[in-house]
A and B are shown apart, each in its own frame.
Chain A
């Protein structure tokens, strides 16, 4: 009932569920408005507003418990917020879609811990991740055509794993697994990539490669990167959003954000 009393919102039952085409006419890919979620009374996300432009590379930073991962969970449909609206483009209401539907719609997520299918080869990992019909029957009778093979080769080249195509993913190094996971996301041809701590546990060389990879992807895809490593964020040279206690504390480029008194207080003050 409380929903009906809030006159500034569209009534729940009037909100359309899924529309096939994504309307990006306003240039914004993702809208999160007034989103709150609490776990056992703890407000993980608190009236958060967050927007992502088409083709933008965005970094999200913030201390532990700021709600970064929860925010990702809400976008991908893993967690349902208590209130608020989350829209993908102008027409897709993410709150009404299941996890696979959201993935199909074009939001790909890379997890903190690299989870690739260790038993399968790099090629098979990419093959399975390819966008297209994923029902039981189409999957059973699926055959790779030349175009699709080319696409797999192309993505493998982007992520620098061409030479490792036929190795089991379980035998790759940590950094290579991270890239493979990004490659798996790319196979889905996503409009937006959510990348959770890509640099964790990487060597410096691997980090440089990752920066190259991510900046290369922006433009064709919107990329949202959650990261702790400040050098890495600086190297990405993008717009930065600082989260704190579930809300946006500051937004701007890295220099602006670092000189923001509120940010300094949160990071250094306590």
Chain B
């Protein structure tokens, strides 16, 4: 099954092989004594895990941008919603260990003098329900948003601007204390997940591996989708939307289905991100975040899926390095990188490999 999906996808095979090796090697190298040359600190493991969730988000964006032609500048919103759903579960797990020691209410609610849990927080003490919400909430938002946007045939720049407005509106909403999601402080001070302490090295390793597995599964499902006839129709919509409509496909529904699926993947990425960074706040909805994701995909190479992964990991590694070495010029460096890639490598970093292989794929 997996081999069938990866047929003719050399880049994907290499990527999954590297990912698999990393998922095995990193925990092993982490066990080495701290003074060993090849020792990987737990800090690095968590950092890598965070990057892997970013990579999954980038794959989700590449699916809709590269293959469907929808430049979404609001995908970080779905990421953040998935993160909030996970955050709510982690909040409920704190229980009486909060600063105020209330058995039911999270600290910020006690602080706001709320008497009982709002209805939309109920059920989130159940891990299964929370995981369901991780997929359902971003999926539902994408479905409703897409239903209106695609049916009125909003496309191109206008659609991008609306997605940007969507994430901005959500940011403003989540900043409000009355919303019941912790206002500008967001959700934090998490203690444990499924009974395992979030501070424990073993939990962090497990989260890292989980992120890698999620990325691999996300990649495979996107690849399967792209290879199916639906994927071909998606590319047809990207290239000639009216023509696709004329041969009988309901373009709106195809867009809606893939956009919703992509939003769910983004939500999953967000849910894995939150326990690793141990905080989620409305800043995640910032319009800039969504734009950064698009930059990763553009740099890695659109419409390859693995290119999105390369872009996400590459840019974020550069970011970590740059913000430590030259904090003031990071944004200039990012802008410069983007300009260089767009001018010299229109097909991104992944485009370099396929050119070496011999031209058009």
B partners with A? yes
Identify which of residues 219-245 in chain A touch chain B, using a CB-to-CB cut-off of 8 Å: none
Report B-chain residues with C-beta under 8 Å of the C-beta of A28.
none
Report A-chain residues with C-beta under 8 Å of the C-beta of B245.
99-100
A124 touching B232, Cβ below 8 Å: yes
Write out, one digit per residue, whether chain A residues 94-131 have a CB within 8 A of any chain B CB (1) or not (0): 00000110011000010100011111100010011101
A103 touching B232, Cβ below 8 Å: no
A139-B249 in contact given A117-B236, A124-B232, A128-B236 (Cβ < 8 Å): yes
Which residue from A103, A117, A139 sits with its C-beta under 8 Å from B239? A117
Residue A41 at the chain B interface, CB threshold 8 Å: no
Residue B323 at the chain A interface, CB threshold 8 Å: no
B225 touching A76, Cβ below 8 Å: no
A128-B233 in contact given A117-B239, A168-B360 (Cβ < 8 Å): yes
B254 touching A136, Cβ below 8 Å: yes
Report B-chain residues with C-beta under 8 Å of the C-beta of A136.
230, 250, 253-254, 257
Residue A268 at the chain B interface, CB threshold 8 Å: no
Residue B235 at the chain A interface, CB threshold 8 Å: yes
B240 touching A117, Cβ below 8 Å: yes
Report B-chain residues with C-beta under 8 Å of the C-beta of A128.
229, 232-233, 236, 247, 249
Residue A176 at the chain B interface, CB threshold 8 Å: no
Closest Cβ neighbor of A133 among chain B residues:
B248
A120-B257 in contact given A128-B229, A142-B229, A168-B360 (Cβ < 8 Å): no
B249 touching A119, Cβ below 8 Å: no
Report B-chain residues with C-beta under 8 Å of the C-beta of A135.
250, 253
B235 touching A119, Cβ below 8 Å: yes
A188 touching B228, Cβ below 8 Å: no
In the assembled complex, the Cα of A208 lies from the Cα of B253 at a distance in Å of 41
Residue B243 at the chain A interface, CB threshold 8 Å: yes
Which residue from A100, A104, A116, A127 sits with its C-beta under 8 Å from B229? A127
A142-B253 in contact given A99-B246, A128-B233, A184-B247 (Cβ < 8 Å): no
Report A-chain residues with C-beta under 8 Å of the C-beta of B247.
103, 128-129, 184, 188
Inter-chain contact count A-B, CB under 8 Å? 69
Report B-chain residues with C-beta under 8 Å of the C-beta of A129.
247
Report A-chain residues with C-beta under 8 Å of the C-beta of B248.
100, 103-104, 131, 134, 188
In the assembled complex, the Cα of A111 lies from the Cα of B257 at a distance in Å of 28
B246 touching A134, Cβ below 8 Å: no
In the assembled complex, the Cα of A125 lies from the Cα of B228 at a distance in Å of 14
Report A-chain residues with C-beta under 8 Å of the C-beta of B230.
136, 139-140, 142
A140 touching B253, Cβ below 8 Å: no
In the assembled complex, the Cα of A104 lies from the Cα of B245 at a distance in Å of 11
Report B-chain residues with C-beta under 8 Å of the C-beta of A141.
228
A139 touching B229, Cβ below 8 Å: yes
A139 touching B235, Cβ below 8 Å: no
CB distance from A111 to the nearest CB of B (A): 8
CB distance from A99 to the nearest CB of B (A): 6
B228 touching A100, Cβ below 8 Å: no
A109 touching B246, Cβ below 8 Å: yes
A117 touching B257, Cβ below 8 Å: no
Indicate the size class of the contact surface on chain B: 20 to 34
In the assembled complex, the Cα of A120 lies from the Cα of B243 at a distance in Å of 13
In the assembled complex, the Cα of A253 lies from the Cα of B249 at a distance in Å of 38
In the assembled complex, the Cα of A124 lies from the Cα of B226 at a distance in Å of 13
Which residue from B229, B240, B257 sits with its C-beta under 8 Å from A115? B240
CB distance from B153 to the nearest CB of A (A): 12
A142-B228 in contact given A100-B249, A134-B248, A136-B254 (Cβ < 8 Å): yes
Report B-chain residues with C-beta under 8 Å of the C-beta of A139.
228-230, 233, 249, 254
In the assembled complex, the Cα of A156 lies from the Cα of B142 at a distance in Å of 40
CB distance from B88 to the nearest CB of A (A): 31
Identify which of residues 203-258 in chain B touch chain A, using a CB-to-CB cut-off of 8 Å: 225, 228-230, 232-233, 235-236, 239-240, 242-250, 253-254, 257
A120-B232 in contact given A100-B245, A100-B248, A103-B247 (Cβ < 8 Å): yes
In the assembled complex, the Cα of A103 lies from the Cα of B232 at a distance in Å of 19
A115 touching B254, Cβ below 8 Å: no
A134-B250 in contact given A139-B233, A140-B225 (Cβ < 8 Å): yes
Report A-chain residues with C-beta under 8 Å of the C-beta of B229.
127-128, 139-140, 142
Identify which of residues 37-67 in chain A touch chain B, using a CB-to-CB cut-off of 8 Å: none
In the assembled complex, the Cα of A193 lies from the Cα of B56 at a distance in Å of 45
In the assembled complex, the Cα of A128 lies from the Cα of B244 at a distance in Å of 9
Identify which of residues 124-159 in chain A touch chain B, using a CB-to-CB cut-off of 8 Å: 124, 127-129, 131, 134-136, 139-142
Closest Cβ neighbor of B224 among chain A residues:
A140
Closest Cβ neighbor of B246 among chain A residues:
A103
B235 touching A140, Cβ below 8 Å: no
CB distance from B175 to the nearest CB of A (A): 36
Closest Cβ neighbor of B229 among chain A residues:
A142
Which residue from B232, B235, B246 sits with its C-beta under 8 Å from A76? B246
In the assembled complex, the Cα of A129 lies from the Cα of B243 at a distance in Å of 10
In the assembled complex, the Cα of A76 lies from the Cα of B236 at a distance in Å of 20
- Give 9 closest A-B pairs by Cβ, nearest first: A140-B230, A142-B229, A103-B248, A139-B230, A136-B257, A115-B243, A117-B236, A134-B248, A129-B247
A to B CB contacts below 8 Å, 11 in the list: A100-B248, A117-B236, A117-B244, A118-B239, A120-B235, A128-B229, A128-B232, A140-B228, A140-B230, A141-B228, A184-B247
Chain B residues in the interface with A (C-beta under 8 A): 225, 228-230, 232-233, 235-236, 239-240, 242-250, 253-254, 257, 360
Chain A residues in the interface with B (C-beta under 8 A): 76, 99-100, 103-104, 109, 111, 115-120, 124, 127-129, 131, 134-136, 139-142, 168, 184, 188
Known pairs A119-B235, A128-B233, A129-B247 / 19 extra A-B pairs, C-beta < 8 Å: A76-B246, A99-B246, A100-B246, A111-B243, A115-B243, A117-B236, A117-B243, A120-B232, A120-B235, A127-B229, A131-B248, A134-B249, A135-B253, A136-B257, A139-B228, A139-B229, A139-B254, A140-B225, A142-B228
